[in-house]
Structure 1
Amino acid sequence: MAPTPPAKPVVALILGGTNNIARTLAKYLIEGEPKAQFVRLADRFSVKPATTYIDAAFLALLDAPEAEAKLEYRQVNLAVVERHADVFTPPAQWGGAETGWTRFDVVFDLTGETGFDKPELLQISNTYQMALALATSASKLSDERKPTAYVRLQQPYYEMKSPSSSSSSQGHSESDKLKPDGVRGRWWQETLRGVAAVEGLNFGIVRSSAWYGPGTWDAEVVPRLVAGHVYQYLEEEMKFLYNSDLRIDTVHTVDVAQALYRTALWLSQTPRAQVLKEAGVELAFPFAQPSSSGFLGLGKRASSSPDTWKTVQTVVPENTKVVAPMFNIRDDGASTQESLAKCVAEVWGIKFGFMSSTVVLLVEKFAKTDFNEMVEDVNEKHVEAWSQMLAKSNPPIISTPISPFLDAHAFRKMAICLDDSKARKLLGFKPTKARVTANELRVIAQGFQKDEIWPTVDLCIWAGARP
């Protein structure tokens, strides 16, 4: 049964994610009909002065008059366990009045290193150990201070199969034993196992498809939008490796926020035994087999010894069964390489195409000697054009976190194909953004242009619409 709105808006804590989804989640909880009476976002970045991109809408929430303010930003190194007690304690006073809050009702863990090429030691410390330490600290809180729901956002860092156009497959279910993709995928998966094994937490997982939305530039969608602008500037056709029907499920960041909130409510309102019966899945041990991320020689930068995990004493043993509720989410679009390419091409008024299977086979055949060189050449071309575009903008853009650079992993044939029927049935999840559209991509790029971190060169004519 889908969760119902609580009698009072929740008091919410968001851990990490300021440079991707946390700002959207905070706005979702506060704006419109409020779902939260207070939100604290705790992360390592400074916001004044900003050491990461902070959009204007989020700053407006931070700068709201004291009597109206519902958002607090707490700059803190979440890796320091001694700071956790303060992080998990809501303010006794807010807006000039006593709050009466004894705990954060819901906690959203958005921490973790998202870069594929990050060294394994960083994945261990900044993804696995940080999330495990935070969950452990939360579990040790007294009953009156412990959150009623603790939700972690999981990225689609797995090797998935893309169904053919004639297939009736809805995608991989939560119970499918997917192989984690590379070092990053293995430690994100072990993070789920580690947190799920912590006793005393009402823990749940939301597993996202490729997200996109205003203020976010990572994942699989916006980098295509960046590349499209580069090819418009170069007056060239944009071409993709691999087949046009490669499945890349997508979801708007607003709907990621919706799923996180609905999961928290469902966990809070449902007995734990029922939670595990209806949504529990066994979380597979990620280190049993080496990942195939070395395909085309692309996994070597991020990998180290395959036995590094054996030196981490807190890893849950392979023979230990770990079960946790998990929900896949995606939109209704069943996005593919072609559907995304069409949207990008419409935004920039460019042509697009796909390299033939013969070309792909040649790339695979000569990968060991030629592929990395090809990647370097493509990046050099993209980055040089992007730099020119930034310099020609009015005013010129000196610094931006957005880049057309793609690591070698981005050139792999990677599908994202998830079955979200469980989230729709149990959570009442229904995407408000049914599919990726050219207009939505325009909104994203125009927002970045307004904040002066996306080029505004004269060639940016916005096919079909003007900013």
Structure 2
Amino acid sequence: MAPTVLLLGGVGFIGRNLVQYLLDKSLVETVRVADKALPATAYLNDAQKRLFTEDKRVEFRQANLTNAAAIEKVYTRDDGKEFDYVINLAAETKYGQSDEVYDERTYQLSVAVANEAAKRKVKVFVEVSTAQVYESDKKPSGEEGKVKPWTAVAKSKLKAEEELKKIPGLNLVILRPALVYGPGDVYGLTPRLIMGAVYRQLNEKMELLWTKDLKMNTVHVSDVARAIWHVSATTAEQGGRAGPVTGVEIYNLADHNDTDQGKVNNLIEIIFGIKTGFQGTMISQFAKLNLEAVTEDVNDKHLQPWSELCKSAGVANTPLTPYLDKELLKDNALSVDGTKIEKTLGFGYLVPTMTEAGLREVVAGFVESGTWPKGTTK
């Protein structure tokens, strides 16, 4: 019989794509999705809406997973059995929140749901973290690389990772994806795509800080979904171990594109028919010293034209914004070696490089759902 899965935070970007993958491939008997957000208000695409509302294999539970009683409730099945796999995608993923918010919604939440998994002796618990936990470096970080998280999201994730490793009897696998993009992506590459649409509207050259070589390694959401399933199934087969090494297994997820700002800009030029470039050393050094003011200026420049684009196209409600938090405007390199999962578990990336078609698919998905104005691309 196919396994049963509890998916925490499953209405979000990665979660909705994972649900679609599991059901399209008939990999599960049931998947219970627990999230504080309701599918009806989460801007799902039409196919995903149908899965959440019509597919009998999906059970949705609205739950605030910072609450102990809510955690116990979502773990409890009607038949008295336990879930085979628990996948934790529940976290505060929005940038620019307070430390208290990340502590409660990421760190404390992860520890609480992992303790419940250990208590119930689930076969596998997958914690989806982030590759932003590694020290910013041009050289790709492997799983043993130096950790020095450079966003508040990553700090809370690393703290959670360390605590989860100490939980007795937890069959833990940690995944650290690079920048995740694909249909439904709001905070990854999409703000840059929106900027492309804005500069097309303004008929101006789009010039970014730093240089074309600044690494921002990527992984497609479909490969993240496949990797989550791959490590879950492999770990269960091996009795609670993913791979040949005892103890906690950690896997990076990064495609073969070795994505940097230059590669992203090249595709934005093609998609939006604009010119792009970089500000140069002097302006970038000034920005480094005045990041607060520069962030404000950058966002002021983009927010109004985007708002006008949406208004003129009749887009009344959208989760999309070109707003970039100052944490993401810093010159931190995201350079990740994602080959361990290939070498040790036989996983293969089906989207090894970022393509024009792949980014156009992101825009087209938002246009279809009515959250992106029509006619912004070339």
Deviation at 1:420, TM superposition (A): 1.8
Q: Which has the higher helix share?
A: 2
> Mean alpha-carbon deviation: is it higher for 344-353 or for 152-161?
152-161
1:138 aligns with 2:117: yes
1:451 aligns with 2:375: no
1:400 aligns with 2:318: yes
Deviation at 1:91, TM superposition (A): 4.0
In structure 1, the partner of 2:256 is 332
In structure 1, the partner of 2:21 is 28
How far apart, in 2, do the equivalents of 1:201 and 1:130 lie? Answer: 16
1:346 aligns with 2:285: no
Q: 1:47 aligns with which of 32, 39, 46?
A: 39
User: What SS does the corresponding residue of 1:63 show, helix, strand or coil?
Assistant: helix
How far apart, in 2, do the equivalents of 1:278 and 1:106 lie? Answer: 20
Deviation at 1:162, TM superposition (A): 4.1
In structure 1, the partner of 2:104 is 125
Give the letter for the 2:192 counterpart. R
Kept in 2: contact 1:10–1:105 (CA 8 A): yes
Judged with a 3 Å threshold, the aligned counterparts in structure 2 of structure 1 residues 413 and 279 are, in CA distance, closer, same or farther, namely: farther
Q: TM-score, normalised by structure 2?
A: 0.95
Kept in 2: contact 1:110–1:152 (CA 8 A): yes
In structure 2, the partner of 1:72 is 59
In structure 2, the partner of 1:147 is 122
Deviation at 1:149, TM superposition (A): 0.5
How far apart, in 2, do the equivalents of 1:159 and 1:434 lie? Answer: 22
Larger radius of gyration: 1
In structure 1, the partner of 2:155 is 186
User: What SS does the corresponding residue of 2:342 show, helix, strand or coil?
Assistant: helix
In structure 2, the partner of 1:58 is 48
The superposition leaves residues 180-235 of structure 1 with CA deviations (integer Å, 9 ceiling, x where unpaired) of 1244322210101112211121111011010001112112x221111111111111
How far apart, in 2, do the equivalents of 1:189 and 1:17 lie? Answer: 21
Q: TM-score, normalised by structure 1?
A: 0.77
Kept in 2: contact 1:215–1:444 (CA 8 A): yes
Judged with a 3 Å threshold, the aligned counterparts in structure 2 of structure 1 residues 153 and 351 are, in CA distance, closer, same or farther, namely: same
User: What SS does the corresponding residue of 1:334 show, helix, strand or coil?
Assistant: coil
Q: 2:283 aligns with which of 359, 364, 370?
A: 359
How far apart, in 2, do the equivalents of 1:275 and 1:53 lie? Answer: 34
User: What SS does the corresponding residue of 2:155 show, helix, strand or coil?
Assistant: helix
Deviation at 1:421, TM superposition (A): 2.1
How far apart, in 1, do the equivalents of 2:280 and 2:307 lie? Answer: 30
In structure 2, the partner of 1:265 is 233
Show the 5 A alignment for 1:195-274.
195-219=164-188, 221-272=189-240
Give the letter for the 1:78 counterpart. L
The superposition leaves residues 30-89 of structure 1 with CA deviations (integer Å, 9 ceiling, x where unpaired) of 10x3111211110111234x2x3222221111232xxx5211211111122112232113
- Aligned-pair identity in percent equals 28
User: What SS does the corresponding residue of 2:29 show, helix, strand or coil?
Assistant: strand
- 5+ residue gaps, structure 1: 1-7, 93-100, 164-168, 281-323
Judged with a 3 Å threshold, the aligned counterparts in structure 2 of structure 1 residues 271 and 159 are, in CA distance, closer, same or farther, namely: closer
Give the RMSD, CA atoms, in angstroms: 1.9
In structure 2, the partner of 1:298 is none
Residues paired across the two proteins, number = 378
The superposition leaves residues 124-168 of structure 1 with CA deviations (integer Å, 9 ceiling, x where unpaired) of 111111111111122222xxxx321110101122353443xxxxx
Kept in 1: contact 2:182–2:221 (CA 8 A): yes
How far apart, in 2, do the equivalents of 1:25 and 1:276 lie? Answer: 22
User: What SS does the corresponding residue of 1:416 show, helix, strand or coil?
Assistant: coil
The superposition leaves residues 91-135 of structure 1 with CA deviations (integer Å, 9 ceiling, x where unpaired) of 43xxxxxxxx82211110001112331111111111111111111
> Mean alpha-carbon deviation: is it higher for 353-362 or for 132-141?
353-362
Q: 2:87 aligns with which of 101, 108, 127?
A: 108
Judged with a 3 Å threshold, the aligned counterparts in structure 2 of structure 1 residues 193 and 69 are, in CA distance, closer, same or farther, namely: same
Kept in 1: contact 2:182–2:220 (CA 8 A): yes
How far apart, in 1, do the equivalents of 2:154 and 2:180 lie? Answer: 17
Kept in 2: contact 1:162–1:246 (CA 8 A): no
How far apart, in 2, do the equivalents of 1:75 and 1:279 lie? Answer: 36
How far apart, in 1, do the equivalents of 2:31 and 2:246 lie? Answer: 27
Q: 1:84 aligns with which of 71, 92, 99?
A: 71
Kept in 2: contact 1:327–1:423 (CA 8 A): yes
Structure 1 runs (4+) deviating above 6 angstroms are none
User: What SS does the corresponding residue of 1:180 show, helix, strand or coil?
Assistant: coil
